[in-house]
């Protein structure tokens, strides 16, 4: 586990505090609560990558119902189609990701969000440094932060 | 999840007894929203179960009172009072205190401290060299006072009415929060104080901000608080209330003086529980506006 | 009072459109900085631009620099609304000519209060 010594890590509490603020601000009164790991694969995943002084990646995984609720609540509409969900979940990971980036060494650049149904692939050379298994509206939500590991072969820098 | 009428009645009565703040029927949703996170953290099944715990456990009671007495707040809230501070109250006090070059200001019911630090930022900008200012921030909630001392604010709080130029000038990032500079923190001193109870020893204040808190008290308590605030306000000092609050039914203690879009209040000389020296020093200016 | 909302996320544009609409603004939208410059050139010239930072084609920071470089547009108020939340980013945006800065996430009150600071809104309606 020497590899971890070369990885800069955000504090899990800071990441959770920020995610809690994002949820409370845009998604209603129901809190984001700690929970066990989700039993099923995520229905939707969204990610932003960070390049620069702190290379890393922030990923949000949600059940289909949770992703749908994110879209209807952010858009303020009763229904949300796939395009709506893609845009809303993408903006959600953009906001959380941008805030996580601000915790880490600067200067870094945030990518545009990538959103997909199912699970998102994490590039090699990245290690998971924060994992928050959460529950919202009784649905699983996971927040993961990956950081580039300098000691891994094939790393970016 | 719903709060039962009996739980609401019990928590409203407790809040009234401990803090004199009123939670009228119809505010159930507010009580529930504020207590739900605490209920979850305490491992309670619902807010009713948490209220039962609060009623028998002193530690949980303090946490619940803290949560129920929070005011939503922003920097430079309502703008106009701060404009009156810079344009009217501060210039008057700079003249009146030219011999001591010292100002003492009270931010009463300071909550998380945005009012006290907004005033500190204005003083940083407008106080002439050689002057010093002391802002006493008081609140009934000890956890709020701890927050004021720490001087750290979340992203959502930072967005609320704080000009970006002042964010850049006075704050630095610490983890997920922003921290106000040590200079401004040293200007603000915190004191635990229940407005509804007897005041501890306090200095005499030149300017008192007592905003958006009287609304929580019944008329007799309001009247009593204003009487006691007067006893710690300098005879030539100022009191500022929230925009919807008034001393209309307390004519005997304060006179109103318009300043732009706000009403300032000034003590009327006369017998109160104020110290004899304070009464003796009462200047003519307190009367001329009447 | 006319506002141009510049953000690559349709969701965010809808959130901001709703807030500005409640305050009595007319609004137009652009998905990146270049689209926004085109919209300003075609008119109407907005009184206010809400500007995201990270967008495809042209980012919000470049957009602010471009608007500020054009003397004809000196009356446009520029407010960044972005997830970029480091001290350095705020300094950089202000130096480039942005007037205010809101960090995502924000509440509707935060937008209203900032527009009051800028003198564009008073008592809940355009000033």
Contact B164 C86 (CB under 8 A): no
Q: Does A8 touch chain B (CB under 8 A)?
A: no
Q: Does C36 touch chain A (CB under 8 A)?
A: no
**Does residue B105 have a pLDDT over 50?**
yes
Name every residue whose Cβ is closer than 8 Å to that of residue B195 and which is 6 or more positions away in sequence.
B20, B108, B109, B140, B213, B217, B225
Q: Does A58 touch chain B (CB under 8 A)?
A: no
Residues C54 and C60: beta-carbon distance below 8 Å = yes
Confidence of residue C45 (pLDDT cuts 50, 70, 90): very high
Helix (H, G, I), strand (E, B) or coil at B171: strand
Residue A123: its pLDDT value, please? 84
Residue B248: its pLDDT value, please? 67
Strands B171-174 and B152-153: unpaired
Q: Does C109 touch chain A (CB under 8 A)?
A: no
Q: Is C54 left (phi over 0), alpha (psi -120 to 50) or beta?
A: beta
Task: Report how many Cβ contacts below 8 Å link chain A to chain B.
Answer: 24
Name every residue whose Cβ is closer than 8 Å to that of residue A157 and which is 6 or more positions away in sequence.
A55, A148, A150
**Does residue A156 have a pLDDT over 50?**
no
| Domain ranges (residues) in chain B | 5-68, 80-281
Give the chain B residue nearest A16 (alpha carbons).
Answer: B176
Contact C106 B171 (CB under 8 A): no
Characterize B221-239 residue by residue with b for buried, 16 or more Cβ atoms within 10 angstroms of its Cβ, and e for exposed: bbbebbbbbbbbbbbbbbb
**Among A19, A97, A102, A130, the residue to mutate for chain B (most B Cβ within 10 A):** A102
| Tokens (6 digits) for A142 | 């996971």
Name subunits touching B (3+ CB pairs < 8 A): A, C
**Does residue B19 have a pLDDT over 80?**
no
Task: Report how many Cβ contacts below 8 Å link chain A to chain C.
Answer: 58
Q: How far apart are CA C61 and CA B133, in angstroms?
A: 39
Contact C85 B155 (CB under 8 A): yes
**Among B159, B165, B174, the residue to mutate for chain C (most C Cβ within 10 A):** B159
Distance of CA B149 to the CA centre of its chain: 15
Does B80-281 carry CATH code 3.40.50.150? yes
**Does residue A4 have a pLDDT over 60?**
no
Contact B173 A11 (CB under 8 A): no
Residues A35 and A108: beta-carbon distance below 8 Å = no
Residue B289: its pLDDT value, please? 34
Say what the ipTM of the complex is.
0.94
Confidence of residue B32 (pLDDT cuts 50, 70, 90): confident
Helix (H, G, I), strand (E, B) or coil at B206: strand
What CATH number does the domain containing C85 carry?
3.40.50.2300
User: How many other C-beta atoms lie within 10 A of the C-beta of residue B97?
Assistant: 16
**For B211-242, how does the pLDDT look when each residue is reduced to its tens digit (9 = 90+)?**
988 877 888 888 899 999 999 999 999 999 98
Contacts of B163 in chain C (CB under 8 A): 100, 117
Confidence of residue B275 (pLDDT cuts 50, 70, 90): very low
Contact C85 A84 (CB under 8 A): no
Please tell me the distance in Å from B12's CA to the nearest CA on chain C.
28
Q: How far apart are CA B206 and CA C90, in angstroms?
A: 36
> What mean pLDDT is reported for chain C?
96
Residues B32 and B47: beta-carbon distance below 8 Å = yes
Please tell me the distance in Å from C105's CA to the nearest CA on chain A.
5
CB nearest to B159's CB, from C94, C102, C116: C102
pLDDT above 70 coverage of chain A, percent: 91
Residue A3: its pLDDT value, please? 45
User: In which domain, by residue range, is C45 found?
Assistant: 2-126
Residue A151: its pLDDT value, please? 64
Look-up of token digits 């040293």 = B186
Topology classification of domain B5-68: Chemotaxis Receptor Methyltransferase Cher; domain 1 (1.10.155)
Structure-model confidence comparison of residues A125 and B113, the more confident one: B113
Contact A110 C88 (CB under 8 A): no
Alpha helices in chain B (DSSP H): 5-19, 28-41, 47-56, 58-68, 80-84, 90-96, 114-126, 142-150, 155-158, 164-170, 182-187, 219-231, 276-280, 285-288
Contact A14 B176 (CB under 8 A): yes
Structure-model confidence comparison of residues A3 and B48, the more confident one: B48
**Among A82, A92, A95, A112, the residue to mutate for chain C (most C Cβ within 10 A):** A95
Distances (CA, A) of C7 to B1, B241, B247, C13: 37, 40, 48, 6
Look-up of token digits 């703008």 = B79
Q: How far apart are CA A57 and CA C6, in angstroms?
A: 25
Q: Does A29 touch chain C (CB under 8 A)?
A: no
Contact B168 C91 (CB under 8 A): yes
Residues B72 and B34: beta-carbon distance below 8 Å = no
Give the chain B residue nearest A95 (alpha carbons).
Answer: B155
- Dihedrals φ, ψ of B139, to 5°? -160, 160
Q: Does A14 touch chain B (CB under 8 A)?
A: yes
Element (H, E) at A105: none
Give the chain C residue nearest B83 (alpha carbons).
Answer: C117
Residue B156: its pLDDT value, please? 87
Q: How far apart are CA C47 and CA C40, in angstroms?
A: 10
Contact B36 A31 (CB under 8 A): yes
Tell me the average pLDDT across B178-202: 96
Contact B155 A18 (CB under 8 A): yes
Structure-model confidence comparison of residues B66 and B206, the more confident one: B206
**Among C9, C10, C11, C107, the residue to mutate for chain A (most A Cβ within 10 A):** C11
> What mean pLDDT is reported for chain B?
87
Give the chain C residue nearest A83 (alpha carbons).
Answer: C10
Residue B120: its pLDDT value, please? 98
**For C82-101, how does the pLDDT look when each residue is reduced to its tens digit (9 = 90+)?**
999 999 999 999 999 999 99
- Dihedrals φ, ψ of C2, to 5°? -120, 135
Sign of the CA dihedral with B81 first, then B86, B92, and B96 last: positive
Q: How far apart are CA B191 and CA B104, in angstroms?
A: 14
CB nearest to A102's CB, from B36, B40, B173: B173
Please tell me the distance in Å from A1's CA to the nearest CA on chain C.
31
Q: How far apart are CA A63 and CA A78, in angstroms?
A: 18
User: How many other C-beta atoms lie within 10 A of the C-beta of residue A19?
Assistant: 25
**For B139-164, how does the pLDDT look when each residue is reduced to its tens digit (9 = 90+)?**
988 888 999 999 999 888 999 999 99
Q: How far apart are CA B123 and CA B85, in angstroms?
A: 10
Domain count along chain C: 1
Q: Does A34 touch chain B (CB under 8 A)?
A: no
């Amino acid at each position: 586990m020497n590899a971890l010594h070369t990885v800069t890590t955000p504090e899990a509490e800071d990441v959770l505090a920020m995610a809690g603020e994002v949820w409370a601000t845009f998604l209603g009164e129901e809190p984001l609560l700690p929970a066990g790991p989700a039993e099923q694969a995520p229905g939707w995943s969204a990610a932003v990558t960070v390049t620069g002084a702190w290379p890393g990646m922030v990923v949000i995984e949600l059940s289909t119902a949770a992703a749908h609720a994110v879209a209807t609540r952010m858009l303020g509409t009763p229904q949300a189609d796939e395009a709506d969900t893609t845009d809303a979940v993408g903006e959600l990971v953009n906001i959380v990701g941008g805030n996580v980036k601000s915790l880490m060494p600067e200067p870094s650049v945030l990518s545009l969000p990538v959103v997909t149904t199912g699970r998102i692939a994490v590039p090699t050379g990245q290690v998971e440094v924060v994992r928050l298994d959460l529950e919202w509206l009784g649905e699983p939500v996971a927040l993961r932060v990956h950081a580039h590991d300098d000691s891994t072969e094939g790393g970016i820098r | 999840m719903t709060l039962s009428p009996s739980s609401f009645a019990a928590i409203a009565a407790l809040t009234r007894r401990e803090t004199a703040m009123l939670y009228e029927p119809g505010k159930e949703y507010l009580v529930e929203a504020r207590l739900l996170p605490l209920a979850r953290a305490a491992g309670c099944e619902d807010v009713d179960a948490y209220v039962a715990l609060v009623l028998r456990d002193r530690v949980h009671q303090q946490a619940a009172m803290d949560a129920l007495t929070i005011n939503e707040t922003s920097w430079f809230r309502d703008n106009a009072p701060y404009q009156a501070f810079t344009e009217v109250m501060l210039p008057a006090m700079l003249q009146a205190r030219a011999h001591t070059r010292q100002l003492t200001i009270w931010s009463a019911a300071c909550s998380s401290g945005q009012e006290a630090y907004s005033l500190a930022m204005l003083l940083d900008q407008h106080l002439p060299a050689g002057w010093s200012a002391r802002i006493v921030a008081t609140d009934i909630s000890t956890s709020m006072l701890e927050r004021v001392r720490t001087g750290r604010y979340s992203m959502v709080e930072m967005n609320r009415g704080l000009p970006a130029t002042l964010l850049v000038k006075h704050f630095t990032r610490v983890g997920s929060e922003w921290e106000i500079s040590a200079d401004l923190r040293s200007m603000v001193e915190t004191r635990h104080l229940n407005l509804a109870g007897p005041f501890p020893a306090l200095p005499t204040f030149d300017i008192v901000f007592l905003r958006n808190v009287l609304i929580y008290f019944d008329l007799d308590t309001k009247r009593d608080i204003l009487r006691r605030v007067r006893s710690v306000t300098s005879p030539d000092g100022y009191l500022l209330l929230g925009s919807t609050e008034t001393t209309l039914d307390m004519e005997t203690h304060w006179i109103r003086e318009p300043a732009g879009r706000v009403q300032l209040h000034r003590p009327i000389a006369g017998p109160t529980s104020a110290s004899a020296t304070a009464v003796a020093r009462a200047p003519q200016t307190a009367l001329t506006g009447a | 009072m006319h506002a141009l909302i510049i953000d690559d996320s349709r969701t965010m544009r809808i959130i901001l459109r709703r807030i500005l609409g409640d305050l009595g603004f007319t609004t137009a939208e652009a998905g990146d900085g270049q689209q926004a410059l085109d919209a300003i050139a075609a008119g109407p010239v907005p009184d206010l631009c809400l500007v995201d930072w990270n967008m495809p084609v042209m980012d919000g920071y470049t957009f602010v620099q471009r608007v500020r470089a054009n003397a004809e547009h000196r009356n446009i108020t520029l407010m960044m609304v972005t997830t970029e939340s480091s001290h350095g980013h705020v300094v950089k945006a202000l130096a480039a000519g942005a007037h205010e800065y809101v960090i995502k996430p924000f509440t509707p009150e935060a937008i209203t209060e900032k527009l009051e600071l800028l003198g564009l809104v008073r008592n809940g309606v355009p000033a």
